[in-house]
Structure 1
Amino acid sequence: MANQEHPAAAASAGTAALALDLRGVDKHFGGTRALRAASLAVRPGTVHALLGGNGSGKSTAIKILAGVYEADAGELSIFGEDHSLSGYTSTTAAAAGLRFVHQDLGLFEDLSIEENFALDAGYPRNAVGGVRWRALHRQVAKVLSEYELDVDPRRPVQDLRPSDRTMVAIARALQGSESERLILVLDEPTASLAAHESGLLLEKVRRLADRGQTVIIVSHRLQEVLSVAHDFTVFRDGRVVGTLVDASPTEDELIAIMAGGLTVALRPTGSASHTTGRPTLEVSGLVSGPIRNVTFTAHEGEILGIAGLVGSGRSSLLHALFGAFVPSTGTMMLGGAPYAPHSVDDAMRAGVGMVPENRVREAAFMDRSVRENLSIAMMMEYWKTKWMPRARETRRAEELIQRFGVKVADPSALFSSMSGGNQQKVVIARWLQREPRLLLLDEPTQGVDVMSRADIYATIRRSAQAGCSVVVASSDMSELHALCDRILVLARGRITQEVLASDVDVDSLTSLVLREPSTRRTIYEPTAFEETRTS
């Protein structure tokens, strides 16, 4: 299935030249060889997925294309024009037609859309140097219309829906040039988006390709990639291990190329621990913010899923359970005793831990070491009268790094230096070292590669087997189906369905989530794009 030869053969006689042809690229960092004769061949007017786990070399390849890193060896051709990789810079990349949109969109959210465009391309000026605001408004409105964005250019970026923010960043990157001579590189564009928002964005990306735009997309979300990509290149250990041209692989086939036998770890286990486990958490009539009269029980050793659309109250429910929000009414029992946390400290003392959705903003100290990020949840255990026993803290960090399979050179390394998957492992390890009786996980593998996802699933399952009750809120129906014993469907703050994971498949679970709770009427219709891709 995977052609391991350079895919330039795809541009056979009679077809257009490749939009981008990267060949024989080597890159070393000290004694570590990050890329080994790596290649990437991209056909014009296609969406090309670049895949691989953490440390596979795909990020290094993208940074070489962006001019951030200089390759040790290799050749590059863009739209038939050769570019020396010696002395290749970001200016060279931009002049050659490469445009990059990263997970951090680089937008100023307090400013308007048109101001964000002007900061990139410059403000139109009159004879005395004043800003021609009407001209700017017309220019940006024209670009937004071309990219199917029905929004006022004067609107602040912070008021846009998440998928539209990403499209604004894409439109800004492509403004002022013939898009057919540009290559758009999207680096994890959906990592922070919920499933529905991701679908909206990818539909627009595919329509860009249909109009002749060449797109390279880097993503850990394989199902999304499969819905949008024409061609695939898979990296592992700095090498290209698979190239698929005009192909329709399955998710399992891609995983097999990327990582071998990890597909088993990502499949449902068929567990039904809730049938025998004693109740750990009992919630009755809970009302908190958007949560309305929620009642459920989570059992010892059970992995309980919370499914719902954006705005359903998934995250709010977990925050209420963790003491971040104080419920207005309702009761909770934890381990058979009354549980009414008025703060996160109360919840922690009761044996509850939580991994929030936004790791960077809510869970991590990015500019501190891995050691400090691990010990923060056990500070009172370590702290002496006047000092912190660093040797003990370091030994414990080393044990946790080994136990949870964190790939990092040293506990003193900055948290920000690790990949997203390893950062998430550290955040989960921070809580599991406390041996919680209840662990709350909000989007536990968002923005995480498939190998780290398998490791995290295994960690969660081991914790449940040890007796921990785990509650997982996720917008990824495949994740909930693979990981959970039982799933609650939340809509408009209320539980509308309860199903055993073994009794449903991913499609039927998705259908339950997308139905109007009062009428059971489907409130989501597949787009023409989705119907085309699934037909």
Structure 2
Amino acid sequence: MRTTGLSKTFAGTTVLRNANLEVRRGEVHALLGGNGSGKSTLIKLLAGVYRADAGGRIEVQGVCADADEWSPSMARSGGLHFVHQDPAVFGALTVAENLAIGRGFVCTATGRVNWPATRRRTAQILERFSLDVSPDTLVAELRPADRTMLAIARALQDQEGAHDGVLVLDEPTASLPAWEVEILLAALRKYAAAGQTIVYVSHRLSEVLELADRVTVLRDGAQVATRETRNLTEEQLVELIVGRGLDRVFPERSERVSNDVVLSVRGLIAGPLRGIDLDLHRGEILGVAGLLGSGRSALLRALFGDLLMTAGQIQLAGQAYRPSRPARAMKAGIAMVPEDRGTEALFGSLSVRENLSASVVARYWARARLQHRREHLDARSLVEAYDVRPASDQSIAGTLSGGNQQKIVMARWLRRDPLVLLLDEPTQGVDVQARADIYEHVRRAVAAGTAVLLVTSDFEELAHVADRAVVVREGRVAAEVSGAELDPHRLTELSYLFKETTA
């Protein structure tokens, strides 16, 4: 596959400039870039969803055309297959039914579905793609990694050769937990070893270096490099993507954390929590490490009043605090950015302005009317301050990239100047540039006195960002680390230990 001189302009703004992408047959080629880099636009041009500006060319397996004439039918003829972050499988249908969608069911002479033949064909496809599931299993019952692998199998099932065509994977692991990621990567390694050509879009650089043969990096709409991965480190990739080194991605820690305890928790029991004790200081980022199911996210939900607290004592700014519901937590000065941005944080069908105003809407009511001009001016200011792209408060929030959506959610809560900010996986599904921007704003809030409780599965990120960390196991704080011990390897070790460890 080869593209030359691809460009795309929206409303006078050039978002992709003369991009060249050459993918060799049988290689895994990673396409990287930050928010606004143009990688999503490039993918949509390849799919024929967008029509490119005049002047470029696209060639895929013998199908060649001017870029401004490329269409979805040409993409299909060239053997391009796309699987996105949301794999678009149908949970209420079986595996066999999902595979038949788009291809058609095996039917009898009378036009009825031949279910035995459909199941046999499905079993052959599942065996080909090493998917150990039954044709009759409901897709809703599959693991997330298996749902993604099913989407890949559906996309590639009609290739004439076992590994013809080009498989384009757009952020396939963004919402998967670590162990599910490894399952998917193992399958992709197998496909690649057998000769499948893969274009891999991801913000997880460790995966890219492990899986890809070469990388192409876009920045600000332009191609900045194409390199062999065997000669690259993660630090070098970061510098290519954001234009600065890894040491500048994460902001510097506070020079001195206050001794003032803002949040004190003793014996907290709620859901899976079995007696949490911790103190959070003003101007501190306290990391919470732990494995999936350890109770780390439940801790944040309990503090925000989203999970019923059945025992324990909490003091907030020296006063007794009992989080009975989120509205009370907000009134007390607590803000929360939840893990599931799409369903629990963002109003995808509303504008950026409406999303930004959601936490402070009462500010804009005067004389029984909503002050739209003031709301609009404030939203424009926040869009600029948080570098949301495109820089319009009128854009529909759900159409923006994951990184820009998360910036909107962060801006919505930080504009309240919270006393305590609860962050649950705040950089999940965002690229390295957006990650740097998000933590820069968090550090500014911390410098102004906000205290932060941070949950993240990325222990390297936690070690860079947190001033101190606690490790949660089986609903209890099992260890506390700081200083030299605040290290990703030590956090991993403590998370997997089964014997209680004291601080």
TM-score, normalization: structure 1?
A: 0.89
Q: What pairs with 1:210-249 in structure 2 (closer than 5 Å)? A: 210-249=193-232
User: How many residues align structurally?
Assistant: 499
Partner of 2:261: 279
Q: In structure 1, what is the equivalent of residue 246 of structure 2?
A: 263
Report the CA distance between 1:80 and its aligned residue: 4.6
Contact 1:76 1:85 in 2 (8 A): yes
Residue equivalent to 1:31: 12
Q: Distance in 2 between matches of 1:381 and 1:69?
A: 40
In structure 2, the residue matched to 1:48 is 29
* Identity of matched residues, %: 46
Matched, 1:59 2:37: no
Superposition pairs for residues 126-145 of structure 1, below 5 Å?
126-145=108-127
Cα deviation digits, residues 122-157 of structure 1 (max 9, x gap): 111112222122222222222222222212222221
Q: Provide the residue aligned with 2:70 in structure 1.
A: 88
Are positions 1:206 and 2:206 aligned together?
no
Matching of residue 122 in structure 1 with residue 87 in structure 2 = no
Contact 2:36 2:389 in 1 (8 A): no
Query: In the alignment, is the contact (CA less than 8 A) between 1:307 and 1:489 conserved in 2?
Result: yes
Q: State how far apart, in whole Å, the 2-side matches of 1:246 and 1:272 are.
A: 37
Give a deviation string over 1:147-175, Cα, whole Å, max 9, x none.
Answer: 22212222221212211111111111111
- Taking structure 1 as reference, are residues 508 and 249 closer, same or farther at Cα in structure 2, changes over 3 Å only? farther
Structure 2, unpaired ranges of 5+: none
Q: In 2, Cα distance between the equivalents of 1:273 and 1:189?
A: 40
- 1:451-470 paired onto structure 2 within 5 Å: 451-470=433-452
2: CA distance, partners of 1:23 / 1:294 = 57
Corresponding position: 1:413 with 2:408: no
CA contact (8 A) 2:264 2:279 kept: yes
Aligned-residue offset at 1:258: 1.6
CA distance in 1, matches of 2:212, 2:464: 24
- The residue that corresponds to 1:17 in the other structure is none
Contact 2:171 2:201 in 1 (8 A): yes
Render the CA deviation track for 1:392-444: whole Å, top value 9, x for unaligned: 21122122223323233332222223322122111111111111110001110
2:86 aligned counterpart, secondary structure = coil
CA spacing shift, 1:262–1:322, aligned 2, 3 Å: farther
TM-score, normalised with respect to structure 2:
0.94
Distance 1:292 1:230, change over 3 A: same
- 1:486·1:499 contact (CA, 8 Å) conserved in 2? yes
- The question of whether the paired residues in 2 share the 8 Å contact of 1:26 and 1:35 is answered with yes
Structure 1 residues 290-309: aligned runs within 5 Å: 290-309=272-291
> Shift in Å at residue 307 of structure 1?
1.6
The CA distance in 2 between the partners of 1:52 and 1:22, in whole Å, is 17
CA deviation digits over 1:200-224, x for unaligned, max 9? Answer: 2122212210111111011112222
What displacement does 1:516 show? 4.2
Secondary structure of 1:120's aligned partner: coil
Q: Does the 8 A contact of 1:234 with 1:241 survive in 2?
A: yes
- Structure 2 match to 1:190: 173
Distance 1:488 1:242 in 2: 40
> Which one of 375, 379, 386 corresponds to residue 404 of structure 1?
386
Letter in 2 for 1:200: I
> Structure 2 vs 1, CA of residues 263 and 457 (structure 1 numbering), >3 Å: closer, same or farther?
same
Q: 1:471: Cα distance to partner?
A: 0.7
- Given the superposition, is the C-alpha separation of residues 435 and 216 from structure 1 closer, same or farther in structure 2, using an over 3 Å criterion? same
Distance 1:394 1:455 in 2: 23
Structure 2: distance between partners of 1:310 and 1:268: 27
Q: CA deviation at 1:195?
A: 2.3
Moved over 4 A (4+): 270-274
Tell me which amino acid in the other structure corresponds to 1:495: V
RMSD between aligned residues:
1.9
CA–CA separation in structure 2 for the residues paired with 1:64 and 1:186: 15
- Answer with 140-149 or 446-455: which moved more: 140-149
Q: Distance in 1 between matches of 2:297 and 2:178?
A: 15
Q: Is the 8 Å Cα contact of residues 263 and 316 (structure 2) preserved in structure 1?
A: yes
> Where does residue 528 of structure 1 map in the other structure?
none
Aligned to 1:478: 460
Indicate the residue corresponding to 1:351 in structure 2. Answer: 333
| Paired amino acid for 2:5 | G
> Residue 218 and residue 422 in structure 1: after superposition, are their counterparts in 2 closer, same or farther (change >3 A)?
same
Amino acid at match of 1:205: L
- What letter is aligned with 1:234? V
1:108 aligns with 2:84: no
Paired letter, 2:414 = L
The residue type equivalent to 1:194 in the other structure is: P
Cα deviation, residue 310, structure 1: 2.2
Once the two structures are superposed, what CA deviation does each residue of 1:301-337 show, in whole Å capped at 9, x if it has no partner? 1101112222222222211110011112222111111
CA 1:519–1:295 in structure 2 vs 1: closer, same or farther (change >3 Å)? Answer: closer
Note if contact 2:253-2:465 (Cα within 8 Å) is conserved in structure 1.
no
- Contact preservation (8 Å) 2:63, 2:74: no
Q: Answer yes or no: is 1:326 the counterpart of 2:327.
A: no
Q: Which of 470-479 and 30-39 deviates more?
A: 30-39
User: In structure 1, what is the Cα distance between the partners aligned to 2:418 and 2:11?
Assistant: 41
Cα contact 1:496–1:517 (8 A) shared by 2: no
Partners of 1:272 and 1:485 within 8 A in 2: no
Q: How far does the alpha carbon of each residue in 1:498-525 deviate from its partner, in whole angstroms, 9 at most, with x for none? A: 2116424323323333x242499xxxxx
Paired with 1:150 and 1:512, the residues of 2 have a C-alpha distance of 33
Q: Answer with 443-452 or 414-423: which moved more.
A: 414-423
